[in-house]
Chain A
Amino acid sequence: MSDSARTWNTISAASPGVAVSISGVGKRFKRHTDRRSSLKELMVRGRAQTEEDFWAVRDVSIQIPRGSVYGLIGHNGSGKSTLLKMIGKIYRPTTGTITTDGRVAALIELGAGFHPDMTGRENIGLNGSLLGLQRKEIQQVTEQIIDFSGLREFIDEPVKHYSSGMYVRLGFAVAVNMKPDILIIDEVLAVGDEEFQRKCFDHLYSLRKAGKTIVVVSHGLGQLEGLCDEVAWLEHGRLQSSGYPTDTIAAYLQRVNADESARNPLVVSTRPEDDRAGDGQIRVMSAAIVNSNGDPLNHAETGETFMMRIAFNAAVPVLGPNVRVALQHDSGPLVTMISNHARGFDFGTVQGDYSCDITVPDNPLLPGRYRVHIDVFDFSGSKLLDTWNDAVEFPVRSKSGEIGQGFFQLPAQFRLG
């Protein structure tokens, strides 16, 4: 009797240059309610007759080249983590085979296996053993780990006194310093403060440079786009597409946006009858977000031209009114104010119903929610004719996954002299 228990973990990759080879892999779970967890159940109901299977992963084939960073994206429950656990040999594939070449370290959760009553140093030892290192190897890297974590002064204190940030820092430091050939990371990239995160990314890059393979699951699409050489998109356990990060992520986001469009209401708002302001000469009736063809939208996209369509009615002839639109970010700050006077556009004398389209070319607004407030002034700008607060609210989404900092992307141009 030898290692027959986990034969699937000792297979080494067949073809050279491939770190992880996944072919035709599927993972079936029994529905939890259908599991016989007590003897009585087993005896009374016998073998499960109404077996309800659930395929978390189905027919997935991926070749992950050595020395590459491979990203997995998809909705929650799309099978990313299950696939990752199978690469990490925590789960066994129901169908197909996974071959890995080299030592695998799986970061399914940072600091998994830390015992609260043990000191940081003692936990490094335990965690190292869990990741498959011998005692001598652990001793060699312990100092390195302590330095990396930046927790030297606390290393001999029980980890139960650590803050959650310190805890994950130590966990990350242990895992990445274990010199794995293949590092598996599940949603744990956003750890620690800015400085530590940079350190982590620098370390990941240096691992890649050293020919290590990194497989990462993350919802931080922007992060993945920058880090990965290749990205695979899983949908309901099946491989939807894979390839260049930018293309795959764009395809994924297109789907996400399309799904959301189907679900989300259009951004159109009609003014309530009882909401009145000013002297009634002009009354704003409705506000909506539409695309350049005038079709109603449920969100605006960064970089994509859209229009705000404001309908108003002038009960009496009004000379050169000024329609001012204020955009407020959901978090509070006023982002910008635009008005036809400021843009040098005179409506002339108006009477009756109008629809005013305000085009925002190549929408510079960054993803977020924006609230629209509308004010109408007379030609001199001194008299408020109508005001409608919170006329409409619309989300801005990104096509690429890039969130960006701040509220908008200034259409700036760089030149190198």
Chain B
Amino acid sequence: MLNTLWTQRALIWAFANRDFKTRYRSSLLGWGWSLLQPLATLIVFAAVFSIVFRVKAPPLGNGQGTSYAAFLFTGIVTWNLFSSFLNLSMSQLKASGDLLKKVQFPGWAPVLGASIVQLVQVGLEIVVLAGLFLWKGNVSWTWILAVPILIGTALFAQGLGLMLAILNARFGDVQYIVTVALGALYFMTPILYPIDLVNQHGHILGWFVKLNPMSWYVQTMHDVMYSLVVPIWWVIPALLAAGLAVFWIGFVVFNRFSEDLGEYL
């Protein structure tokens, strides 16, 4: 797999380059737009959940009170990385259909290219998040641990994205199902509420939340970015390994079913 990826690096990069250059080329604010959406979500959700529903965020790692906005944004950034990879993978493969009918190249190349560009967006969001924490004075070396967690999240999302993309290429309604599923999964991930909230109740829903792999990625991000604590030693290696495994599976599945991609896209 690595060998294949390596020989196609120029192509992946060329697609990333294309997407990067054309993404906001004719818009005035350019990349500013890409931050507007998560920021707007943040403001609306922060207002609704902290003021209306009075959800309490756990205490900040520096011991100086809580910040629901910072807690929420940590989760949103991680979630957006996941959901945008899934959606982009599906749409990018569909959009490449025309080209796949005329030129022979691996279908995952444009998908990975688009994801690389999406990482720029994630990076921008991380910068905003870091700024928020700096302002709150909530900084620690545990932030470094966010890097492997985010890499794990990205690999996990990409593996899933590759599988969904190839499925969506055959059955056009997959993307709609994914939209609905993502909507539900969003609320089963401790983004809007702390994980303790479901732990307390012991309801069946709590099990759903705990079994949801995205809960692990998001919760660990909360640990290292917000609470500034180091998770149990095996958690981050496990998240990374899971990400790698899912990516590998996704890649194999994609290649297995992409042989006649040029025909049915």
Give chain A's interface residues, CB within 8 Å of chain B: 1-6, 9, 29, 35-40, 42, 85, 88-92, 104, 106, 108-109, 112-113, 115, 117-118, 122, 125-126, 128-135, 138
In the complex, whether B187 has a CB less than 8 A from a CB of chain A is: no
Cross-interface CB contact of A112 among B1, B11, B103, cutoff 8 Å: B103
Query: Nearest-CB distance from A370 to chain B (Å)?
Result: 41
Query: Nearest-CB distance from B177 to chain A (Å)?
Result: 8
Query: Nearest-CB distance from B9 to chain A (Å)?
Result: 9
Query: Nearest-CB distance from B13 to chain A (Å)?
Result: 8
In the complex, whether B4 has a CB less than 8 A from a CB of chain A is: yes
- Closest B residue by C-beta to A7: B259
In the complex, whether B264 has a CB less than 8 A from a CB of chain A is: yes
**Bound Cα distance from A112 to B4, whole angstroms:** 24
B262, A90: Cβ atoms closer than 8 Å? yes
- Closest A residue by C-beta to B22: A117
A5, B21: Cβ atoms closer than 8 Å? no
**Bound Cα distance from A126 to B101, whole angstroms:** 17
Known: A37-B171, A37-B172, A104-B104. 11 other contacts (CB 8 A): A4-B255, A6-B259, A88-B104, A113-B102, A113-B103, A117-B22, A129-B10, A129-B11, A130-B103, A135-B10, A138-B10
CB-CB under 8 A from B171, the residues of chain A are 36-39, 42
A118-B21 contact in complex given A1-B252, A90-B101, A130-B14, C-beta closer than 8 Å: yes
- Closest A residue by C-beta to B263: A91
Query: Nearest-CB distance from A180 to chain B (Å)?
Result: 12
CB-CB under 8 A from A85, the residues of chain B are 262
B10, A91: Cβ atoms closer than 8 Å? no
Interface residues of chain B: helix, strand, loop or mixed (majority): helix
B10, A134: Cβ atoms closer than 8 Å? yes
Cross-interface CB contact of B102 among A3, A109, A135, cutoff 8 Å: A109
CB-CB under 8 A from B174, the residues of chain A are 39
**Bound Cα distance from A130 to B106, whole angstroms:** 10
- Closest A residue by C-beta to B264: A35
**Bound Cα distance from A29 to B106, whole angstroms:** 21
Instruction: Mark out the residues of chain B between 13 and 44 whose CB falls within 8 Å of any chain A CB in the assembled complex.
Output: 13-15, 17-18, 21-22, 25-26
B173, A5: Cβ atoms closer than 8 Å? no
**Bound Cα distance from A42 to B171, whole angstroms:** 9
Cross-interface CB contact of A5 among B106, B248, B262, cutoff 8 Å: B106
Query: Nearest-CB distance from B173 to chain A (Å)?
Result: 5
Number of chain B interface residues as a range: 35 or more
Query: Nearest-CB distance from A186 to chain B (Å)?
Result: 9
B21, A117: Cβ atoms closer than 8 Å? yes
B103, A117: Cβ atoms closer than 8 Å? no
**Bound Cα distance from A104 to B103, whole angstroms:** 10
In the complex, whether B251 has a CB less than 8 A from a CB of chain A is: yes
Query: Nearest-CB distance from B254 to chain A (Å)?
Result: 8
- Closest B residue by C-beta to A88: B104
A133-B21 contact in complex given A5-B259, A39-B174, C-beta closer than 8 Å: no
A5, B256: Cβ atoms closer than 8 Å? yes
CB-CB under 8 A from A118, the residues of chain B are 18, 21-22
A125-B17 contact in complex given A5-B258, A130-B105, C-beta closer than 8 Å: yes
CB-CB under 8 A from B14, the residues of chain A are 125-126, 128-130
CB-CB under 8 A from A132, the residues of chain B are 11, 105
A126, B260: Cβ atoms closer than 8 Å? no
In the complex, whether B200 has a CB less than 8 A from a CB of chain A is: no
In the complex, whether B99 has a CB less than 8 A from a CB of chain A is: yes
Cross-interface CB contact of A113 among B13, B99, B173, cutoff 8 Å: B99
In the complex, whether B100 has a CB less than 8 A from a CB of chain A is: yes
Residue in A1, A5, A88, A106 with the greatest tally of chain B CB atoms within 10 Å? A5
CB-CB under 8 A from A106, the residues of chain B are 102-104
B21, A89: Cβ atoms closer than 8 Å? no
**Bound Cα distance from A130 to B14, whole angstroms:** 8
Cross-interface CB contact of A2 among B4, B173, B260, cutoff 8 Å: B4
A112, B10: Cβ atoms closer than 8 Å? no
In the complex, whether B64 has a CB less than 8 A from a CB of chain A is: no
29 CB contacts below 8 A, A to B, read: A1-B4, A2-B3, A3-B4, A5-B255, A6-B106, A36-B171, A39-B171, A42-B171, A89-B104, A90-B101, A92-B259, A104-B104, A106-B102, A108-B103, A109-B102, A112-B99, A117-B21, A122-B21, A125-B14, A126-B17, A126-B18, A129-B11, A129-B15, A130-B11, A130-B105, A131-B103, A133-B10, A134-B10, A135-B10
